[in-house]
Structure 1
Amino acid sequence: MTATYPPGPPLPAFVQGFLYIRRRSLILPPLRRRYGDVFALRVPPFADKLVVFTRPEHIKQIFAGDPRDLHAGEGNQILGPIMGAHSVLMTDEAEHARARRLLMPAFNGAALRGYRDVVAEIAGAEVQRWQPGSTVITLDRMNALTLEVIMRVVFGVTDARTRAALAPRLHRIVTIGTIQYIGFLKPALQRFAPWRAFHDNLVAIDDLLYAEIAARRTAPDLAERTDVLSRLLQAGGETDADPPLTDAELRDQLITLLLAGHETTAAALSWALHELAVHPDLQQQAFEAVRTDDDKTLEAVMKEAMRLRTVIPGAVRKLTGDMTIGGWRLPAGTVVSCSILLAHRSTENYRDAATFRPSRFLDGEVEPNTWLPFGGGVRRCIGAGFSLMEGTTVLREILNRYSLSAPAGAKPERGRVRNITTVPRGKAKMVVTPRSDG
C-alpha cells in the first residue's frame, strides 16, 4: 500500500491553522460529518500534515503503539520554547522513560493523600473570602486557587516574598495570547514588544526558580518536606540509568507541571461548577456526596465536566516511520491526533452525549478509549490523579458552604480558546448563597 493521506478541506493552510487553533469546536464536528472518522488538516506552525482520528479502535492503536514509532515529544514541539527541552512532554523514548520514572513517585497514591489536606486548606481559604449572595467570577477564582496549589504543593514555595514575585509572572505565562506565543517562536521578534516582554518575564521566572532550587538543595529539612520539588530533588541516583535530575531538568519539569496542571484544572473546575449551578438537581446530589464523603460521585462530576466541556482538543504523536493506522498508510513525519473533543462528543461513544450526566461514570457505561482528557498509553498524564483529587477537594469545600446558581438573565455559557485550553467565554459566573441544609 502506498503512503497516502485521508481527505480533508481544501482551504488554505493558514485558514485551516487559524480555525483549528481558535475555532476547533466549530470546525471539527462538521469536518467529521463531511469526511468521516479520519480526515487530514494542515495547521501551521503546529503540523504541515495532521491526521485526525476519532474512533476508539484507532485511538487504542495509537496509544498502544510502540513509543519508538510514535513520538509524542516531537508532536508537542510547539510548546518547547516555554516548557524546555527536558520537559516530560518534550522528550521521547529513553529520555522520556527516565523522566517519567523519576516523576511518578511524587504523584502516586500515598503522595496524593498527603497533598489533599493542603489543597483543602487553600480551597477553604479561598471560599472563606467569598461574600454571601455575591456573584463569583468562577474562572478567575479557580485560576487563582489552582496557581496557589501549584506554588505550594508542587513548587513548595513558602516564603511570602518569593510567592509574591513568582505568582504574577507565572500567571503571565498561562495567559499568553496565541499571536504573542506564535511570534515568540521566532527569536528575531523577541527584540520587539510584546515578545520582548514575554521573553524577559520567562527569564525572570527562570532566575526565581533556579534560586529556589539552589536554596532547596541545601535546606536542612529537605528530607521532611513533601512538596513535589523537594521529592524530585531526592529522586534518582540508585542506578546509572536514573541519575538525579539536574537544575535545568528540574526547571523544565516545574514549568511543565505549571502549564499542564494549572489552567487545565481551573478550566475543568469552572465548567463543573457552572454545570452544577444550572442543574440544581445534580447539585443536590453532589452536596449529598459531600455530606456522605462520597468522593466517587464528586469525581464523576469532574469527569463529566471534562467530557462535555473538553478542555484540551487532542493528543498527538509524530510518526518516525511509515505506519498504517485505521487502514491508512501514513508516511514518516505525519502528526496524528487522537481527537479528544470528537471522541467526547460522539453519540456512538456516549448515549445522550450532549447532556451533562455524571452518573454515566458511576454506571460502568463509559468504554475504554472514549474518555481521554489525560491522553493514554505510556504518555498518559502523570498528574491525572492529582487533577482529579484537586477537583474533588475543591468541589467539596465549595459545596459544603454554598449553594450555587446562575446569575439572573445569564446567557448559556459557551467556550472560547485561550492558549491551548477551552475556557468558559463568560468566565462561568455564579451566585453563591450560604447553605441552610449543611
Structure 2
Amino acid sequence: MPRKVTFSSAGFSHRAANGRVPEPVAPPGPRLPPMVQTLLFARYRHLWFPRLRRIYGEVFSLDLVAPIRHRVVVLARPEDVDEVFGGSVDVLHAGAGNAVLRPVMGDRSVLLTDEDEHRRARRMLLPAFSGPALRTYEEVIRTVAVAEIEQWPVGEAFRAHHRMRELALEVVCRLVLGVTEQARLAELRPLVRQFTNIGQITLLGLSHPKLSRLRPWRHYISLRQKLDEWIDAQVANRRTAADHPTDVLSHLLRAAESAEGGGFNEVELRDQLVTLLLAGHETTATGLAWTLHELSRHPLHLRTAQRAADEGDDACLTAVVQETLRHKPVIYQVARCLTEPLTLAGYRIAAGTTVMPAIGLVHLDPTHHERPETFCPERFLDRRPPSPAWIPFGGGARRCPGAGFAVQEATIVLREVLARYDLRPDRARPETPRPRQVTQVPARGARIVVSRRENGGS
C-alpha cells in the first residue's frame, strides 16, 4: 500500500513540515489490470465503488484506460468533494475531465471548456435559466406533461423511463430549440432519439480517430452532422422571426445582441444547444423514472405526495424529487483533471490525474444523511438540501446551469402524474441501476402499473 503523506489541516498546503514540496503519492486502490478496472467502472460502479470504499477508505485510486490510460483518484467524503468544487477552476479542469463527451457535445460545449472560455459560456447561458425565465416555461411543461400522461395505458405494466424520455424530449424540443410546428418536431424527434441511443462502447470509441471509419462510429458521426444541420437551420429561422418567443434559444440570441464583445458564434451556439438538448432531457427523464419507481414501492410516501399534488403543495413534491436524486443519483460521479499538483484529502496528487468526486458515495454518507439507504422525502421538507452532502448537479463554478429547470420540470410532471394516477410496481423486487452513457438508469425501465384515482385532483 502506498505511503500516506500528512499535510496541514488546511488541505491545500503545498509543503511538508520540513519545507520541501512533497513528491506526489497516489492513494491506495485495486491492483487489477487497467482494462478490468475500466470495465468494472463502466458497468458496475454503483456496486464497485461502495466496496472499494469499505476496503480503502474515503479516498482511493483507479487506473483506467478510457479514452486513454490515466490515474483517477475517487473522493467519497463530502468535505473533500467541497474542496474540489470550491477550488481553482484553473487547476481543476472539468472540461478535460469530461473529454469522453467531446465528440458528442462538441468542442465548445459548456461541459467541455475551461477557464475563461467556460466562464464566458456560463455567463451567456445563465439568464435563460434565471427565476423569471423559468416562470415563463411552466405552462409549456404542464401542457406537454398532460398530453403525454393522458396516453398512459391503465392497468398494464409499462416502462416509465421510456415514457419520461418521450415527455422530456418534447419539453426540450419546445423550450430549448423553440420548435412548435408539428412537421419540424416530426423531423427532430427521431434524430434526437437515434443520437441519444449511444452505447458505452460506441461512446468510448468516439475518441479514437481510427474508429471513425467503422460502424457504429461512422454512423454516429453522421447523425451528429445531421443534427448540426438541423439546428443551424432552426437558428437561422429564429434570427429572422418577427415574434419574441420565450425559449432558451431566443434568450441566447437576445443575450448575444447585448453581450459585450458579441455573443456565441455559430459553432459555440450549436454546441451549447446540442448539450442542452441531450443532457437536458436524458437526466430529467431518468430522475423522473426513478421517482415513480420509488413512489410505486412506498405507498405511504405515495399518498403524501398525492395529497401534495391535489393541494398544489409543490414544496412537498420538490422534496420527493430531491430525495430521489439523493437516493438514486442520475450522475454517479463527476471529474476534474489537475493542471498542476494538488494536496487533497491528505495526499499530494500529481498533475494530469483525474480527481473524481463520487456523488453516489457522498449521498450515502451516514454522517450527513440519517439512514441513507432509506427513501425518505421528509428529510428535505422545510429545509434546503445539505451542501456539500447533496450534489446531484455538481457544485461550485461548474454546477449545472440548468439545475433549477430540471427540478422545476420534474416537480410539474410529478404533480400532473399523481393528480391522476395511483402507482404500483409490476413486481415487488426493486430495479437496480444500469449504466446508460453517463447516467444510471433503472435496469428494467422503471416498470410500473397505473390506475385512475377515484378521488384525484383532476
Aligning the two structures, in what range does the TM-score lie when normalised by the shorter sequence? Answer: over 0.9
What is the CA deviation profile of residues 165-220 of structure 1, one whole-angstrom value per residue up to 9, with x for unaligned ones?
Answer: 21111112222001122222222222222222111111111111111111111111
Residue of 275, 280, 283 corresponding to 1:261: 280
| Residue pair 1:21, 1:420 contacting (<8 A) in 2 also | no
Q: Tell me what 2:13 maps to.
A: none
- Equivalent residue in structure 2 for 1:190, among 212, 230, 233: 212
User: What's the CA shift string for 1:299-350, capped at 9, x where partnerless?
Assistant: 1111111111111111211111111111111111111011101011222221
Task: Find 1:246's aligned residue among 254, 261, 265.
Answer: 265
> Which residue pairs with 1:17 in the alignment?
38
C-alpha contact (below 8 Å) 2:101/2:203 kept by paired residues = no
Distance in 2 (alpha carbons) for counterparts of 1:238 and 1:265: 31
Moved more, 97-106 or 170-179: 170-179
CA contact (8 A) 2:178 2:249 kept: yes
1:286-365 paired onto structure 2 within 5 Å: 286-362=305-381, 364=383
> Is residue 44 of structure 1 aligned with residue 68 of structure 2?
no
In structure 1, give the amino acid aligned to 2:429.
Answer: K
SS in 2 for 1:314: coil
Matched, 1:424 2:446: no
Q: CA offsets, 1:78-134, max 9 Å, x none?
A: 111111111111111111111111100000011111101100000000011123323
Contact 2:98/2:112 (8 A) holds in 1: yes
Aligned CA distance change for structure 1 residues 263 and 239 (closer, same or farther; 3 Å): closer
**Aligned runs of 1:31-430 on 2, under 5 Å?**
31-46=52-67, 48-221=70-243, 224-238=244-258, 240=260, 242-362=261-381, 364=383, 366-407=385-426, 409-430=427-448
Once the two structures are superposed, what CA deviation does each residue of 1:345-403 show, in whole Å capped at 9, x if it has no partner?
22222111111000111154853211111000010000000000000000001011111
Given residue 123 of structure 1, which amino acid in structure 2 is its aligned partner?
A
The structural deviation recorded for 1:288 is 1.0
Letter in 1 for 2:380: F
The answer to whether the 8 Å contact 2:291/2:321 transfers is yes
Q: Which amino acid aligns with 2:316?
A: T
Tell me the C-alpha RMSD between the 2 structures.
1.4
Contact persistence 1:60–1:369 (CA under 8 A): yes
In the aligned structure 1, how far is the partner of 2:418 from the partner of 2:188? 30
SS at match of 2:71: strand
Aligned partners of 1:255 and 1:365: how far apart in 2?
A: 31
Q: 1:183 to 1:429 in 2, by over 3 A?
A: same
What is the distance in 2 between the residues matched to 1:262 and 1:131? 22
Distance 2:269 2:140 in 1: 22
> Larger deviation: 378-387 or 290-299?
290-299
The gaps in structure 1 that reach 5 residues or longer are: none
TM-score (norm 1): 0.96
Q: After TM superposition, give the deviation of residue 410 of structure 1 in Å.
A: 4.5
Separation (CA, whole Å) in 1 of partners of 2:455 and 2:402 = 34
Give distance in 1, aligned partners of 2:348 and 2:313.
Answer: 47
Report the 3-state secondary structure (helix = DSSP H, G, I; strand = E; otherwise coil) of the residue aligned with 2:124. Answer: helix
C-alpha displacement of 1:66: 1.3
2:54 aligned partner, one-letter code: R
Once residues 236 and 289 of structure 1 are traced to their aligned partners in structure 2, the CA distance between those partners, rounded to angstroms, is 41
**8 Å contact from structure 2 (residues 124, 255) kept in 1:** yes
**Equivalent residues, number:** 434
- SS of 2:371's equivalent in the other structure is coil
Offset from partner CA, 1:404-423 (integer Å, 9 cap, x none): 1112x453211111111111
| Secondary structure in structure 1 of the residue aligned to 2:228 | helix
Distance 2:169 2:259 in 1: 34
Matched, 1:433 2:454: no
- TM-score, normalised by the number of residues in structure 2: 0.92
Q: Give, in angstroms, the shift of residue 437 of structure 1.
A: 1.6
Is residue 302–residue 388 contact of structure 1 (8 Å, CA) maintained in 2? yes
Following superposition, the deviation at residue 239 of structure 1 comes to 5.1
Q: Which stretch has the larger CA shift, 68-77 or 5-14?
A: 68-77
Amino acid paired to 2:198 = I
Question: Is the CA contact (8 Å cut-off) linking 1:235 and 1:245 kept in structure 2?
Answer: no
For 2:258 and 2:146, how far apart are their aligned partners in 1? 39
Asked if 1 retains the 8 angstrom alpha-carbon contact of 2:165 and 2:281, the reply is yes
State the distance in 1 between where 2:246 and 2:146 align.
20
Following the alignment from structure 1 to structure 2, what is the Cα–Cα distance between the partners of residues 159 and 197? 28
Quick one: distance in 2 between partners of 1:397 and 1:74? 40
**Contact 2:297–2:428 (Cα < 8 Å) also in 1:** no
Taking every aligned residue pair, what percent have the same amino acid on both sides? 45
Provide closer, same or farther for how the CA distance between residues 394 and 239 of structure 1 changes in structure 2, counting only shifts above 3 A: closer
Rounded to whole Å, the distance in 2 between the matches of 1:72 and 1:412 is 34
Q: Which amino acid aligns with 1:421?
A: T
